[in-house]
Each structure stands twice: as C-alpha cells, then as structure tokens.
Amino acid sequence: METVDDLFGRLEQLNEIGAALSQQKNLDSLLENILVAAKSITRADGGTLYLVELERQLKFEIMRTDSLKIAMGGSTGTPVPFYPIQLYKEGRPNHQMVAAYAALTGKTVNIADAYTERGFDFSGTRQFDQKTGYRSKSFLTVPMKNHEGTIIGVLQLINREDPVSEQIVAFSEADQRLAESLASQAAIALSNRQLIDQLEKLFESFIGLINSAIDDKSPYTGGHCQRVPMLTMMLAEAVSESRAGSFAGFSMTDSDRHELKIAGLLHDCGKITTPVHVVDKATKLEAIFDRIHVIDTRFEVLKRDAEIAALKKKVALAADRKLSEIDVRERNYSIDQELREVLRHISEDRDILRRYNTGGESMSAEAQERVRQIGTHYRWTDVTGSTANVLTEDEIRNLTIPRGTLTAEEREIINHHIVVTIKMLEALPWPKHMRNVPEFAGGHHERMDGKGYPRGLTRDQMSVQARVIGIADIFEALTAKDRPYKRGKTLSESLAILGSFKESGHIDPDLFDIFVRQKVYLRYAERFLDPHQIDAVDETKIPGYSP
C-alpha cells in the first residue's frame, strides 16, 4: 500500500515536472518530457503520447517501453512506424479503440488487464505482444485537455510496476489522479508551445510576405533579402566557434540565433518604400525606360541632317552653269569625303555615350569631360524647328556619374531605405528575446571608422551581430549575379574589394579575418554562386589579410 510520504513525494515530483514543462521550448523535447514524466510518476513500464490531427485521427508522437528498450519519436530521431488511429470509422465515433474513446469522450480509461477487458478492441496490442514476447496488461489512458477544453492529445501508460513485488499491477486511483493532473498541465504547456511556434511561423511568413513584395517591385533585391540572412548565420556560427581573439567570449543560444536570423531577413525591409525606377536603375540614363534610345534617335537625326546638307550642296553644284563637269565631279567627291568624316565622328561619339551609359566601378575626369564636349558640340533640330544641344543638362549629369548608375540624389533615396528600416522596426513591440532586432538590422551600413550612415556609429558602438550583417550585406552584393547594373564578381575579386574595405576602416577587421580563415566565403559560394565565379583564391594576396 502506498504511504502518505510516498504520495507527497510524487506530488512534489508532479510540481517540479509542471514547472519544467513550462520552460521547455522545443516541441519534440516537450512531448518527450511529458511522456517520460508520466511514466515516472505512475511507475509505468511503457507509454505512448498521441496528438489529435485535423480532429480526425490520433498520431503516434512518442513511444517508450523500458523493458523492451523501445524508444521512438522525440529526440531519438526514429519515427513511430504505426498508422494513426482514426477517431471516426464510416462517419461514426470509433469507441472500439481505447485511445480514440478517451479523445472523443474526454474520459480517462483505467484498465486492469487488457486481455480480459470487454468493450475495447485490443487485437493490435495482442499482435504486438506476439511479435515481441511482451505482455501488455494494465492500461491508463488519459485525454489531454487544454485551457479551452479542447482535447489535443492522449497520454496512454502501460503496465504499472509495483515497487515492492516488481509485479505488473493495475494503476491506482492515486496514479490516475496524478496522471490526469500531469496531462492537464502538459496540455496547457503543449498548447502554449504550439501557439508560440505558430506565431513564430506566422511572423516569419509575414517577413517573407514583405520580402516577396520587395521582390515583386524589383527582382534584383528579392534574392538579396534571402541570401544575406543565410550568409549572416554562416559567419555568426564561425565567429561563435572561433573561441579566440576578440570574440573568445562570443556565443549564441538558439534564441540568439533566431533573433539574428529575423534581423537578417528584415535588414532591408525599408526598401519596400524605395521607388522601383531607382532600385532597378540598370544604366545611367534609365528612368521609366533607358533614355539612351532617345539620344540614339537624336544622333540619327544629326546623321540625316548631315546627309541632307550634303545633298543640297550637290544640287546647288549641279545648278551652277559656271562650273565644268570636272569641277562638279571633284567638288561632289569632296562633299562625300566630308560627309563620311562627319558621319564617322557622329557614330563614334554616339558609341562613346552608349559605353559611358553603362555604370562601372569608376569614371575618369577625362571621360566625364568628353561627355560634356559631345553634349554641347552637336546641335539638333526637332519637329517644331527648335534647336538644342544634343544632350540636356540632366542627361549630361547622369552620363557623368563617376561610380555606378545613381546620381547623388538617387543614391540618397536608396540610402534612405535604412532610415525607413530602423523606423519600421523600432515601431514594433518586440518581445524581450528579440528586442535587439532593430539594432542588428539597422547597422549594416555603418562603418567601423564612424563614416557610415545613418547614425555614424563606430565599431565600439555596434554589436557583433550588426557588424556581421554588414559584411554579409556587402559580400552578397559583390557576388550577386541578378543585379541589373553589373555582373556577379568572382570570389577573388570580391575578397580583394572586401579586404580593401577592411584596410579603409569600412568593415570589422577581425570578422573579416574569420570570414576568410574559416572559409565562410567558400561555403557560401558553393551554395549560391555560379561555377565560373568560384575561382582559385590566393589568400596571401587578399589586401589586409594575413593567413
């Protein structure tokens, strides 16, 4: 007979279990802990935990039988190989299966011996016993009811062992009450965990929705929003594993990882407000369309005007009766030569403008001056008879952009996305374990020397995570092959630029060293870059890096 001390001991154990369940964050581990705790508190040899699926069936989630050394589901990685138990058969409640009965009625079923019990179908249990040599005897089947009164699962315990005789006995009334109390606590803990998981999935789906909206506006940034968080996590894990230098004390919990992942996914959410014609500006003259084609038309007009002028000269010569046939022929030849030379210059100058319309790493002062000369040298006449320079002031300003394809004003519009990102993220009511997301995401355009934007932060004023996203953002942009204004650079080219950024105080020098030393760049490249971009890297030649 159970003593009062023994009962109090099990009640204390129940309280400890309840507290532990409320702190468990992993769903599989939570389910496993529930079953193991129920077996322990009732002294059961075996047990199964089922979850209700689609209100139509019970799915085997966790199964344990100590004497047979059976452990399936949960942390074992071995799935339970049995088909779900159907709650309804041919539209009628399945009261033949004890677990289904408990789920449908919300009643606990306490059976002393399954082989002599009438009213339930234990044929499957008998088959299991025949295969394994086991003897399933006492059963305690408890419905798991959450705070809303909904049955979300069933806890089934098998073969209660008497601690003195070590014989299989029926589950006592105390066992039943303890199991019911545990099932109630477990159901609430499980519902809370499922609700948290669902909210997290909903939140990540919402983030995906934002990135999809950005992607729909511009296919050139949607991939960026997905790749940067992946590269961020690669580098952060490498830093966490380094255990040396200035990051010796840096480590991440699962909660830290989730927080950083969310920050990476949201680091460019402000681009949802950036005008498409600026984000997608593939050439210097592109607006709604590439205005180089308008300039091409003007140059065609210049050519035709030159040809018409030459023809008029020839007509005038033919009408001049004072000239001999030889003089006319010689002068026509001279006109043709002059026309060919004019057309050649026009074609060459048009080709120069086409070439400079494509953005590059840099444009020399001489090249910029050449564009200005071309723009003011030619005059063209439109259909109204008005004449003007072949290039407008705005076109000259765009064609002389020294780096890339954006004017200073357009670059300011692009840069403003980080201000919007910070404003959006700081407006959200982040829970405690994610309160750093705005700082992590909002710092990827800052520089270690304080010359970045929007806040001009220095290295010491930034978290490690923000500095990690900064490197990931730059490297992804350098290697990206889906940008309209440039080709994706090779590994050696990208690392050379990134190394120069280290030397100039742009990026964190220690993080860059880990990025190279731990071959983070190569692991990323193998997943996301084209084969031709993955060239041989001589790390001894990377600026600022010493192997």
Q: Are residues 364 and 497 in the same domain?
A: no
Mean pLDDT (whole number) for 192-221: 78
Q: Are residues 31 and 117 in the same domain?
A: yes
Q: Is residue 251 part of a domain?
A: yes
Q: Are residues 181 and 230 in the same domain?
A: no
DSSP state of 290: B
295 pLDDT more than 60:
yes
Q: Report percent pLDDT > 90 for the chain.
A: 56
Q: Are residues 37 and 158 in the same domain?
A: yes
End residue of a domain, out of 144, 162, 195: 195
Q: Are residues 394 and 489 in the same domain?
A: no
Instruction: Supply the pLDDT for residue 483.
Output: 60
Q: If you average pLDDT over every residue of the chain, what do you get?
A: 87
Instruction: Supply the pLDDT for residue 25.
Output: 64
Q: What is the dihedral of CA 481, 487, 488, 492, to 10 degrees?
A: 170
Query: 194: number of CA atoms within 13 Å, CB side?
Result: 12
pLDDT band, residue 18 (cuts 50/70/90): low
How many domains are there within the chain?
A: 3
**Pick the residue with more confidence: 441 or 22?**
441
pLDDT band, residue 258 (cuts 50/70/90): very high
Instruction: Supply the pLDDT for residue 220.
Output: 60
Which CATH number is 101's domain given?
Answer: 3.30.450.40
Q: Is residue 346 part of a domain?
A: yes
- Per the structure, the complete domain to which residue 169 belongs is given by 4-195
Which CATH number is 255's domain given?
Answer: 1.10.3210.10
Tokens of 249: 């004390």
Instruction: Supply the pLDDT for residue 480.
Output: 85
476 pLDDT more than 60:
yes
Q: Exposed (0-12), middle (13-18) or buried (19+): which is 207, by Cβ within 10 Å?
A: middle
Instruction: Supply the pLDDT for residue 15.
Output: 58
135 pLDDT more than 90:
yes
Q: Are residues 177 and 244 in the same domain?
A: no
**Pick the residue with more confidence: 382 or 536?**
536
Q: Are residues 111 and 227 in the same domain?
A: no
CA-CA distance, 75 to 27, in Å (whole number)? 10
End residue of a domain, out of 352, 378, 405: 405
Q: Is residue 468 part of a domain?
A: yes
Instruction: Supply the pLDDT for residue 7.
Output: 54
pLDDT band, residue 371 (cuts 50/70/90): very high
277 pLDDT more than 60:
yes
pLDDT band, residue 8 (cuts 50/70/90): low
**Pick the residue with more confidence: 239 or 197?**
239
Q: Is residue 517 part of a domain?
A: yes
Instruction: Supply the pLDDT for residue 10.
Output: 61
Q: Are residues 453 and 374 in the same domain?
A: no
Q: Report percent pLDDT > 70 for the chain.
A: 92
pLDDT tens for 35-55 read 888 898 899 999 999 999 888
Q: Are residues 179 and 56 in the same domain?
A: yes
CA-CA distance, 129 to 114, in Å (whole number)? 12
Q: Is residue 420 part of a domain?
A: yes
Q: Which of 69-83, 84-98, 266-280 has the lowest mean pLDDT?
A: 266-280
Q: Which of 28-32, 318-322, 340-344, 361-365 has the lowest mean pLDDT?
A: 28-32
Give the number of other CB atoms < 10 A from CB of residue 427.
8
Instruction: Supply the pLDDT for residue 441.
Output: 94
CA-CA distance, 193 to 24, in Å (whole number)? 8
End residue of a domain, out of 164, 195, 226: 195
470 pLDDT more than 60:
yes
DSSP state of 336: H
Q: Is residue 546 part of a domain?
A: no
Q: Are residues 318 and 367 in the same domain?
A: yes
Q: Are residues 88 and 165 in the same domain?
A: yes
Q: Are residues 145 and 258 in the same domain?
A: no
DSSP state of 46: E
Mean pLDDT (whole number) for 422-440: 92
pLDDT tens for 325-366 read 888 888 889 999 999 999 999 999 999 999 999 877 788 999
Q: Exposed (0-12), middle (13-18) or buried (19+): which is 216, by Cβ within 10 Å?
A: exposed
Q: Is residue 111 part of a domain?
A: yes
Q: What angle do CA 478, 480, 486 make, to 5 degrees?
A: 75
Q: Is residue 209 part of a domain?
A: no
Mean pLDDT (whole number) for 101-118: 94
Q: Which of 281-295, 478-492, 531-545 has the lowest mean pLDDT?
A: 478-492
**Pick the residue with more confidence: 276 or 165?**
165
- Give the DSSP H or E segment for 138: none
Instruction: Supply the pLDDT for residue 262.
Output: 93
Instruction: Supply the pLDDT for residue 20.
Output: 58
Q: What angle do CA 78, 81, 83 make, to 5 degrees?
A: 145
Residue 237 near residue 264 (C-beta atoms within 8 A): no
101 pLDDT more than 60:
yes
pLDDT tens for 390-428 read 999 999 999 998 888 888 888 888 778 889 999 999 999
Angle between helices 219-242 and 509-517 (to 10 degrees): 90
CA 213 to each of CA 126, 207, 385, 427: distance values in angstroms, whole numbers, following the listed order: 57, 10, 46, 20
